[in-house]
Every structure is written in structure tokens, then in C-alpha cells.
Structure 1
Amino acid sequence: MDEKKIRELYAQTDIKDVFDNLHSSADGLTPEEAEKRLNKYGENTIKKVAAESEWKTFFKNFISTMAILLWISGFIAIVSGTVELGIAIWLVNIINGLFSFWQERAAKKATDALNNMLPTYVDVIRGGKKMQIDSKKLVPGDVFVLQAGNSIPADARIISASSMQVDQSALNGESVPESKTTKYDPGEGSYAESNLVYSGTTVGAGNARAIAFATGMNTEFGRIASLTQKQTTTSSPLTAELNRLTKQISIIAITIGVIFLIAAIFFVKYPFAKAFIFALGMIVAFIPEGLLPTVTLSLAQGVRRMAKKHALVKELNSVETLGETTVICSDKTGTLTQNQMTIHYIWTPSNEYQVTGSCYVNNGQIELNKKQLWYEENPDLHKLVQIAALDNNTSVEPVKDGGKPKILGTPTEASLIIMAEKAGFDKQKVLVKYPRLRELPFDSDRKRMSTIHRWNDTQYIIFTKGSFSDTIKQCDRIQVDGKVREMTDDDRLRAKKANAEYAS
């Protein structure tokens, strides 16, 4: 059955029927049954397909059309008495082949690193008891537990979930996390089913229990990994051009050699042996020995530049093919971006603020009319930043070596945390003064998240954020320049207009 139909089947089927189909239950598999399935389905890993042997890959770099021409020209040079030249030509060929092999082998190692994206351990329910196992031992029918920050070890159907948000950018390139619940919703695009989670993705927020229906190479992540291991035999435009050039050079060199052989015998009256050696020297002189290493080094330089931009090139000749590309069409948000959401503007009824800096790093500031502004200096900005930071479950952990910061939560909330830090807001310090008492999590029906905080000994305050269209319907008051008044239709119209302008 087609992979998409299998996903649809597990997504649309009642959870009781899913348990029956997988011969499992909410208490999970027994240890004995799990062992049997491990023997049947194999380990939950990305398996390597039968790849080209190292020796074959190694020798392939020495038998291209141009390389063969250099081997022959080196042999001719030795026969013609210029041993040093012949050895030099062979050494050029050998060094070029070794360099090409090293470059392609390094790219292959990077591709194999996909294995490291799978988690090491997973919490499973077996025989009604929770235990931690190596993720390689996970099998179809296993019930496992997910929490914020976990990598998902298998394709699975959700049994129960609470405020579940999953980062699926590894599969679909979307930077915005998907909300996951027990209810089925097909969603938009690939892998958007609301009650399915996929191997290789990450839990951004919330927690859940799920039952695995595909592991290892049978998962969507495994299928994508298998595509990276396959190679086509189609020659690149550069290879085809070099082969054509090599044939032309060979014909020209041999033709010139024959002409000089005839001229040396019949016009200069050289003995045949001397004329033949002379003709061989002319043939060698017409062979561009430096062409192959020049091309290889140029391509290697391109590979290194692309590697600095985090682009993986498996074969050197692919660089030239990519260089001929004039148009790239992409329909996925995040595919051509850094996948780090950043707030650049803040709108309130009385002002528009600019936010400098980018990514999940406090490297900017809030500005009004090109001047830095702290959140305490403006009552409206104060309230907005307070809601953005306190009605928020995400934390951003900086990396010491200057790498990409780690977020425990969702990209949207991470961008709000960084924006609050740029305004000088210390969330942990404020939480001590206004402790959180309860949370009403975001869900697909309510489309809002609310947190209740103790304001003083006798009062409480609720902070709410959510989708614009749903949240503004609940509002009947507005704060302008620090004063709260009744919201008018004109206020709603201005807010909707601003929202539309920022979204366009």
C-alpha cells in the first residue's frame, strides 16, 4: 500500500481499531512480544543501502576520459625518452584522483550523519509499566511517551496529548510548529495530520502518548534518508563537456603527430626511429596536463564555499551543474531561510516600534523614532511586553560556542522572549513578583493561550495571546497611552488594517 494511504488509514481510524490492527493496547506490548517484533522488523535505525565499494569509488577517480588521456600521454612521454615529463604527468593524475576521492568521501560522511538525528533513548510503556529503552529497540505497536524537547523516534498515532506542538521542519521545511491532538484533521500540505507524529521531528511544547506504526526505514524520515543514499549515473554537463573536449584534443594531437612524423621522414630526412620519437613529443606537447587539476581545484573551491553556507555537495561536478541554475522554485516557508523567527515591528494604537537584530539572540533593541526605548518608558509597550513574556512557555538557551541557540518550545514564542529581552524585560525576576497560578493552553478550537497570575494579595490577572481574528473578538477594552477605555469599531478597523499590512 502507498505510504500516504497508510498514513491516512492510521490517522482516520478509531484509536481502538489502531490498537487492534497493531495487536497492542494502552498498556503497550509485553517484553516478550516486543522482542519477537524486533526480530521481525529489525532495529529502529537508518540502514545503509548497498553502496558502491570504497575501492570502486577510489579507482573511478583515475579512469575518466581525461585521466585516461593523461595516463597515455605520460606513457608516450616515457617511451619518447622524456621520463621526467612522463612521471610528472602521472603524478598530476594521481594527486588529482586522490584529492577528488577525499572530497567525495568527506561529503559521504556528512550524509551518513543523518543517523545522529534520531534520539538515543525513549520512554515506552511495556506490560503497563513505564521504562526507558534504546530507541533502536522500539518496534511497531510500542506505546511511548513524549515531552517538550524530545526527538520523535517513530511514525506514530497520538493516543493522548496536552498542548502538543511539533517542529516538523526536518520533513516539510515549515518553521511554524504543528499543533497535535487526538482529533483527526487533515491539515494543509504534507505531514499535516493533526493526530500523527513523525520520526526525526521534535516536540516543541506539551506532552503526549503515541503508538508507533512504522519504525526504521519504513518511516517517512527513513524514506527520505534512503533517497540521499541513492546515486544516479547521469553525467553532469561539465563531465560531458570534458569528455567531448578530451576526444577533440586526442584527435588534434594524433593528427599533428602524424603530420610531423611524415614531415620529419620525407622533408627533414630523419631516420624513422628519430622521427617517431619527435612525433610522440609533439603529441604530448598538445595534451593540456594542467586542465584536469585546474578543473578539480576550481570545483573544490566551490564546494568549500558552499560548505560554509551549510550546503552539502556529494560530487564535485555537481557544483558546476548548480552554477547553471537560473531559477529555484520553492513553496515551503523555511526552506530558504534560517528557520529562526524574528520580530521586526511592534504595533500599538499610538505608535509603531522597530526591533533591531535577528535570530534567537539578544543582539538588538526596541526603537521609537530611531531612539532606543526600554519597556518601562512607555506604558503600552510595558503591557505588551509583559503579556508576550509571561503568557509564554518557551525558553531560549544560548550556545557557548556561538552556534544556533537551542529553543525549548515553539519558534513564535521564542521570538517573543527575545523581543522582551531586547526591551530589557527579565522574565524570571518578574515571575517572582507575579507568580503563575494556572495555564489555559493553546488549542486548535480556542486558538488562544492564557495564564493566570497573582497580582497582589487580593487580585489576580489573566494574560492572553492568540490568533488575531479570534482574540480581537473577545476584546471590549483597549489601552491607549496608558489609559484603558472602551474599544470602538474604529479601533477594531485600525487594528485589522495594521494586521493586514504586516501580513502582506
Structure 2
Amino acid sequence: MVQDKQDKDQLAQMPIDQLYQSLRTSANGLTDQQVQSQKAKYGDNVITAAKGENKLLHFLKNFTSLMAILLWVSGFIAIFAKMVELGIAIWAVNIINGLFSYWQENQAHKASDALKKMLPTQATVIRNGKSEQIDTADIVPGDILMIAAGNSISADARIISADSFQVDESALTGESDLTDKKPDYHHGEGKFDEENLIYAGTVASAGSAKAVALSTGMNTEFGKIASLTQSQQAKPSPLELELNRLTRQLSIIAISIGIAFFLAAIFFVHYPVAQSFIFALGMVVAFIPEGLLPTVTLSLAQGVQRMAKKNALVKNLNSVETLGETTVIASDKTGTLTQNQMTINHVWLPDKVFTVSGEGYVNNGQVMDGQAAVKPGQNADLDLLMKAISLNNDTTVTPNNQPGAQAKIVGTPTEASLVILAEKYQLASKQLANANPRQKELVFDSVRKRMSTVNKGQDGKLTLYTKGALDGILSITKSILVNGQVRAITDDDIKQIQAADEEYAKQGLRSLAVAYRDLDASEDLSQATAANTEQNLTFVGLTIMADPPRPEIYAAVKKAHQAGIRIIMVTGDGPITAKSVAVKIGLVSDQARVITGDELSAMADEDLRQAVKGEVIFARVAPEQKYRIVKANQANGEIVASTGDGVNDAPALKQADIGIAMGATGTDVAKEAADMILTDDNFASIIAAIEEGRTVYSNIQKFLLYILNSNVPEAFPSVLFLFSGGLIPLPLTVMQILTIDLGTDMLPALGLGSEKSEPGVMQEPPRSRKAHLLNKSIIWKAFGLYGLVASIISAGAYFFVNYAYGWPKHALSASGAVYAEATTITLAAIVFCQIAAAMNARTKYTSVFKIGLFSNKHIVTGIIFEVILISLIIYVPFLQGVFNTHALGVQEWLFLIAIPIPLILLEELRKWVVRKYFLKRNS
């Protein structure tokens, strides 16, 4: 069994006889006894799944976060304080939230399951000198594999013999071009580019081959990726860490207040210890935001729904907010930043250059000579080139002219671009093929770097059409076609052609050369080979192609940079093309550093950490290198989002703070390892999702501001009671306090969780890891501004009612109708202050009138609900007894209704001052 890549390289270069001896096999395959021995030694050829978490523990962890534990304790305290209904209500909130979180988390799948599904179930092997079908799980090292076009490859193997064999390795490399495979060893550029090695999880696309299995199961490259993916431990999201910190902060605040009130009740009011303890427990419960978890969960869930409408499916609720913290995006190029549709944009002839309009596999463009469209019959040289690329082509394309829809291609992306070029030229390809039937094909291989076909014209003449890499074509060219005339090719001609090719290469464009030769009718095509047929060709021209950037990528990249997000291109493509595309779309400047996979292999981790701090592009990278790039950025303190679509991307996707898989072209493995799936494979959707993530975090802070500001007016009456030595009866009872926390406050608070993005959210830098949900701004607003104003208003209402009934001539009473009415107006005043707070908390700096005072229907509904609820508590006799309330008159209601108006206007004035002076000065 081959254990590592170095061993495979050694076996790839061994003579066949020595290879058989090393693997203890032969051309006749293994014997049954050898198979049994190998099976006992190496086990089944399967991808084994990592041991999963205990299902019960997985379920219970949704009820054991720090905030959840705090709520369990709060419920117990409420029951201990003889408020059983309240305790049950708090526990019910906790249970509902935990069940919802569990349901969401169950949407995530295991990456190893997808890996197992991708392996084929049957394979053809030679054993005991005979061909037989076996389950792929039974393949062992030393088995002789028989592989045909369309077969999935079941083990890492070395090719013994091959016939025009090509393999789709995109699941491992991420690149869509087919790879030629041959028995002879030759190492190309990239990790999986050995010509005589094939890998499990890839697919045979053309031809056939015989190979000997080197590695199976978890020892294959496929299995190593699975193992690397499984080894990644789930990390708490930044939001989970922040909520835990917030819980500790609120716990300290609540307990500290509880202790202070306990001591004050004993020393100032002279309550007995037991009564003081119960009083203090009530205050502790009142200061714990019971609605925090459900509001956070709802905010995240609504963010998930909004993202789904923008083509981003999020599998884990907490991933929504993590997106908003993203500082670095490690993005693939092909299909994410570009359209993954190779497009011809120029046709270069020795005496003329034509431009081609239209991008992608949609035949709605034209071949242009300046401003004029060119059609067949107007340029003989161009006609011949178009005829050559049409006849020398094995790919079919079914274009889809619907916006955003993918064309269906059967063949290679390069040949697909030639098919579309012929369509744009209005060439009748099918009729042309019928009139010029193919007589012979010399298939493409990576040594010749060209493909040829022999076609028979209507006049009976045979013509050889050849296309391929420029160097491969020029080496067999003897003449050149210029303006309809064939003449001997000169050194100056060659220099001109190469100069044009080099200029296009600097722009990140690829070229494909086209040539031809008229054959003698007497030539025996049955004996035709590349060596005796591809010679003395006439050079016609070059087709210049590129994978065009997505149209919307320019605006998305600009928006990301405005938001302080760096984008690092990580691609399997070549360095010249990668940098050209990156510069073109504004990803980096022309001074950006390009690091290839080979350079990266030689870099120490510290050097890599320094490299990723600047403008950098990674080209020709291998799977574990992408994983290293993500880890290096994380080591620098970055929040990393990484995109991917292949098996090779799974470890990086799982390591990243946010793994983003492609939904349209991605493998199941990538989708399962990711936190988010893009249904349109579009980078712009990532930026839209980041904006939603920032909005979710902002909404949680808005909720926090709203929910905490009511704590001050809730506590203020108790402060008056305690520090007056009991002379001022409690203006607000514990049950009335909890009415606000679990009743009137809840729906408006939940409405804040659904607030849309505030203007300018993507003009701010990503949130610092040192920044916290409960920051100085929220503390000042909640306790020093909103809370203080609400305390003055509600306390004033309490004393006003008592004043109307004879205070201070008569002492304040702790019972009776006057006391009930005074506490009722205090409670109602706080509720109406909260109506203003809900509106004020909707924006940080923007005027609430600009976004629409009533544009958030959830908040409007919540306000209506709390007015109805407080009315029921005030007027329903049964509830009057429970909450110690009393009916209010018209005069009191006019006072209450008027409360929000000045509070909203004063906050609007403050925001205007901030916008005009502070923000302008610091912009």
C-alpha cells in the first residue's frame, strides 16, 4: 500500500516489471489468495466516517449555552420566589428556543457521507487472469483495473496501457479541463498532473485504460482529503463567543444589583432577611433579558430567509452573523469570479485582427471588422479558419439564452468556445460537417498539444485540419496563409505570430493556433499517424480566448473593498491568467504578488502569514495549500470566508470561519463541508450575504439597546423605595416589572430583529474582534439617555397621581386605589417610553423618517400588541388583581399617548447633530 505522495511518485517512474514485483501482482492480476491477504491487511476500499457526536449530547447542547443556563436558573429563582407562572414562562422560552436551534442545526450534513456516495459501486478488474466485475469496496492494492470512458475511478492507480485516455480531475483540482493520461511518466504543472497516475473520485471522460491499483480507501488522495476534513473540530462561532461574554456581563450586572438591593432592603428598609432575599431575587430576574435568545434566533432565522432570496443558503444559524464579521474572502476564480464559459474574443490572422462580441456560451454575438459584422464569404482566410475549427471539433453546445442560465456542453470548454464562435459567424456547422465527412481523427495529447482531423470535401479532396498550442503548430508548419495566398513561412512571420501571442498572454488570454494541409487523394489513411501526417502544414491564424469575468463582479468587488474586506484569489489556473483577471476586475493592483503552488510548498508558515497580509494571488495551488492559506489568515486574526466546489476544497471549507460551496457546479462533498451554499455560484451573492450578516449583528445590538433601556425605569422605583427607607412605597411591583420584560417588550424587540439593512452598513469596516455587543455606546444610550429619560417620566407620573390625591400633605400609601392607580400609570408610562425607544433604536445614525416610520410592520404590530396588552392588564378585573392595577381615565391616556412624540423628536435631533458634525468630520 502506498502511504504518501512521494511513494506514488517513485512507483510512477518504476519499470512495469519492477512495479508488479513491488505490489506483488502481475499482468494477470492477483490470485484469490493474494486478494484475501491484501484485504486482511488494508481493509475495504471505502471512505470511513469520523465517529459522530452522541445524539443525546448533540440535542442537549442546544439547552446548555451560558444564556440558556442563566434562564434555567432565573426560572428556578422565580419559582422559589413564589412566582410559579413566571418561572414556567421563562423555562418555556428556553425550551422553544432550544428546539428551534436543534432543528436548524440538523440541516447540516456530514461531509464523509457525501464522500462515500461519490465513489462508484462497481469496477472491472483482472484476477486470476480473467476479467470480472466486483464491488469497488473489494478493490485492493495490486488489482489490475480496466477503465472505460464514463467510468468513475475507484482507487489511486498507475496506468499500464491507454488508448486516447482522458480524465476529468475537476473534483480534485477544481479545474474543468480534461487531463490526458498515458503509461509514460511525465510530471506536469500541479499536484495531480502526473500523466500515468489516476486518482479515486475522478472520472474517465474519453478512451480506455488498464491500470494497477496503488492505494485504496483512506490511503488514496481522496481519502486523505476526507480524513483532513473529518479532523476539523467544530469551533464556536464569533457570535456564540460574544453571546457567552454578554451573558457573563449581564449575569454580573444582575447579581450585583441583586446583592445591592438585598443589602439595601435590610439596612434601609429593615426588611427581614428572607423578605429581602425574595425582593432581591425578583430584581435579579427582572434584569435578565429573557427575550435575548429567541430574538437572536429569530434575527438569524430571518437573515437566513433573506439570504435565501439572494441565492445564499445558510446551513447554520450562527453562520449568518459570522458572515458579517468577514475580513478576508479566499475565492476561487473559475465559475465564481468568472463565468466558467471560455469565450473567443479575438481572431488573429497574419494580416488582420477581428474582434468577437458576446460573452459565454450564448450565440448572440458577432465577428467584427471594426464596426462592421463579418459574414461567411467576405474574407477567405477567416472562412478557412472557421471551417477548420468547426470540422476539427468533438464538442456540442446547447446554448441557453435565458439570463443567468447555464449552457449544456458535451465536451471541453475550449472546443465549446470554438463552436460558439462558428455560430456567431453564422456558419452552418451541421451542414458543413455533412458536406465534409470526417475520415480520420488524430486525438489530442499533451505531448503534441494538438488535435487533427481529416475531412473529405464535396470535390473528393482530403484536407487535414489541425488545432492546438502555438508552439506545437509552428514546429510542423512550412507555409502561411496571408490574404488568400499561401507562401513559405519566414522567420519574420514566426516572430510576428509569437509577438502577438505573447502580448495576448500578458493580458491573461489563451491562444489556440489553427493550420491545415491538403492531402493527396492517394494517401492511405489507415496508416495515418501524427508523425507521418501532421507535417508541412499551412498556418492560418489564432483564436484568442478567456473565461470572462461575471458582469456583476466589478460592482461586488468594489463594494467588498468599501466594506474593508480583502479578497484573495486562490486558483488552480496559471499565474499570468490569474493575475490578469484579478487586476481586470479590481481585485488587486498591478503590483500584487503572485505565489504559485510550488513556491507555497517551500514557504514556512510565518512567511505565509506575512505574505497574506498584503496584496497576493495564489495560482496552481493544491488542496492542502488552500487549507494552509485559510489557516494563515486566521492566525493573523482574520475572519475568513472561503469558496470552493470540488473535493479538494472540503478541508479549506471546513477550516474557514465561513465555508461557501457552489450550488450549481459544486460537488456534494464541498456542499456538505460548507456553512453556506450559493445557488447561483456568484461572488456577488457572497457580498449580499455579508451585508445581511452585518445587518443581523446590528439588529441584535438594537434589540439589546431596546431591552436594556427599560431596566433603568424598572429599577428606579425600587431605588426610591429603598433609599427613602420605605417611606415611598414601591412605585412598581415585581409582577409589573416582569410584565414589561416578558409581555409588552417582547414583540417590539422581536420586530427589531427583522429590521432591514441601515444605509451605509457596507461603508463601514468589519467589526473588530475586540468590539462587543454590549459596548460603551449601548451602555450610554440604554442607561444614561433612554433609560434615564424614561425613569424621570415614569417616576414623575407616579408622583403626579399621588399629588392629585393630596400628596405631600398626606403620606404616600402602599395600598388602596390611589396606590394601584399610581403604580398603573408608572407601568403604562414605561410602556409608552418603550414605544419611542423601539422607533429610536431602529437606526444608529439615519433618521427613522428616512427609512419610514411605519416601514417595519413587525414593530408596528408589536406596538399595537403591547398597547392592547397593557389595556387588558389595566381594565380586566382578574388581571387587575394579579398585577395590582387600576383603571385610568381619558386625561391619563392623553398624557401616555403624548409621551413618544417628544422622545422621538429629541432622538432625531441628536442623530442629526451626529450626522452633521461628528460623522462628517470623521468621514
Q: Normalising by structure 2, report the TM-score.
A: 0.49
Q: Distance in 1 between matches of 2:467 and 2:354?
A: 19
Contact 1:175–1:333 (CA<8 Å) still a contact in 2?
no
The equivalent residue for 1:180 is: 181
Q: Distance in 2 between matches of 1:315 and 1:238?
A: 12
The equivalent residue for 1:433 is: 435
The equivalent residue for 1:343 is: 343
User: Equivalent of 1:500, from 489, 492, 502?
Assistant: 502
TM-fit CA distance, 1:249: 0.8
TM-fit CA distance, 1:336: 5.0
TM-fit CA distance, 1:329: 5.3
What amino acid maps onto 2:251 in structure 1? S
The equivalent residue for 2:454 is: 452
RMSD of aligned Cα (Å): 3.5
Deviation track 1:132-155 (CA, whole Å, cap 9, x = no partner) reads: 333233222222222333321110
Range with greater deviation from structure 2 (92-101 or 203-212): 92-101
Contact 1:107–1:312 (CA<8 Å) still a contact in 2?
no
Contact 1:156–1:198 (CA<8 Å) still a contact in 2?
yes
| Counterpart mapping for 1:8-87 below 5 A | 8-30=9-31, 33-34=34-35, 37-87=38-88
Deviation track 1:267-313 (CA, whole Å, cap 9, x = no partner) reads: 34555555433322321222222333343444556667778899897
Q: Distance in 1 between matches of 2:306 and 2:29?
A: 50
What amino acid maps onto 1:242 in structure 2? L
The equivalent residue for 2:142 is: 141
The equivalent residue for 1:470 is: 472
What amino acid maps onto 1:145 in structure 2? M
Q: 1:440 to 1:405 in 2, by over 3 A?
A: same
What amino acid maps onto 1:495 in structure 2? I
SS of the residue 2:159 aligns to = strand
Contact 1:148–1:408 (CA<8 Å) still a contact in 2?
no
TM-fit CA distance, 1:382: 3.6
TM-fit CA distance, 1:35: 5.1
The equivalent residue for 1:130 is: 131
Q: 1:279 to 1:297 in 2, by over 3 A?
A: same
TM-fit CA distance, 1:353: 2.2
Q: Distance in 2 between matches of 1:385 and 1:119?
A: 40
Find out whether 1:216 has 2:225 as its counterpart.
no
The equivalent residue for 2:365 is: 365
Q: 1:373 to 1:303 in 2, by over 3 A?
A: farther
Contact 1:108–1:314 (CA<8 Å) still a contact in 2?
no
SS of the residue 1:107 aligns to = coil
TM-fit CA distance, 1:57: 1.5
Find out whether 1:253 has 2:254 as its counterpart.
yes
Deviation track 1:450-475 (CA, whole Å, cap 9, x = no partner) reads: 11111235310111011112213433
Q: 1:125 to 1:413 in 2, by over 3 A?
A: farther
Q: 1:14 to 1:200 in 2, by over 3 A?
A: same
Which blocks of at least 5 consecutive residues in structure 2 are unaligned? 507-923
Contact 1:165–1:410 (CA<8 Å) still a contact in 2?
no
Find out whether 1:228 has 2:229 as its counterpart.
yes
Q: Distance in 2 between matches of 1:262 and 1:370?
A: 89
TM-fit CA distance, 1:372: 6.2
What amino acid maps onto 1:440 in structure 2? L
Q: Distance in 2 between matches of 1:160 and 1:306?
A: 50
Q: 1:82 to 1:485 in 2, by over 3 A?
A: farther
TM-fit CA distance, 1:44: 2.1
Q: Distance in 2 between matches of 1:447 and 1:463?
A: 14
Q: How many residues align?
A: 500
Contact 1:107–1:313 (CA<8 Å) still a contact in 2?
no
Contact 1:366–1:423 (CA<8 Å) still a contact in 2?
yes
Q: 1:384 to 1:118 in 2, by over 3 A?
A: farther
Q: Distance in 2 between matches of 1:258 and 1:247?
A: 16
SS of the residue 1:106 aligns to = coil
Q: 1:302 to 1:227 in 2, by over 3 A?
A: farther
Deviation track 1:377-406 (CA, whole Å, cap 9, x = no partner) reads: 65444433332232223345789x998666
Deviation track 1:106-139 (CA, whole Å, cap 9, x = no partner) reads: 2224662222222233232233333333323322
TM-fit CA distance, 1:78: 3.3
SS of the residue 1:210 aligns to = strand
Deviation track 1:200-223 (CA, whole Å, cap 9, x = no partner) reads: 112233322111111121111011
Q: Distance in 2 between matches of 1:65 and 1:388?
A: 66
What amino acid maps onto 1:348 in structure 2? W
TM-fit CA distance, 1:447: 1.8
TM-fit CA distance, 1:266: 3.9
| Counterpart mapping for 1:143-158 below 5 A | 143-158=144-159
Q: 1:22 to 1:339 in 2, by over 3 A?
A: farther
Contact 1:362–1:418 (CA<8 Å) still a contact in 2?
yes
Q: 1:403 to 1:214 in 2, by over 3 A?
A: farther
Q: Normalising by structure 1, report the TM-score.
A: 0.86
The equivalent residue for 2:386 is: 385
| Counterpart mapping for 1:248-327 below 5 A | 248-268=249-269, 270=271, 272-300=273-301, 316-318=317-319, 320-321=321-322, 323-327=324-328
Q: Distance in 2 between matches of 1:483 and 1:52?
A: 74
TM-fit CA distance, 1:444: 3.0
TM-fit CA distance, 1:157: 0.3
Q: Distance in 1 between matches of 2:62 and 2:492?
A: 72
Q: Distance in 2 between matches of 1:370 and 1:282?
A: 79
Q: 1:31 to 1:380 in 2, by over 3 A?
A: farther
Q: 1:395 to 1:225 in 2, by over 3 A?
A: farther
Q: Distance in 1 between matches of 2:431 and 2:458?
A: 16
Contact 1:355–1:419 (CA<8 Å) still a contact in 2?
no
Deviation track 1:34-92 (CA, whole Å, cap 9, x = no partner) reads: 45544543332211121212222221222121221122122223333444443333233
What amino acid maps onto 2:412 in structure 1? T
What amino acid maps onto 1:202 in structure 2? V
Q: Distance in 2 between matches of 1:364 and 1:500?
A: 29
Q: Which has the higher helix share?
A: 2
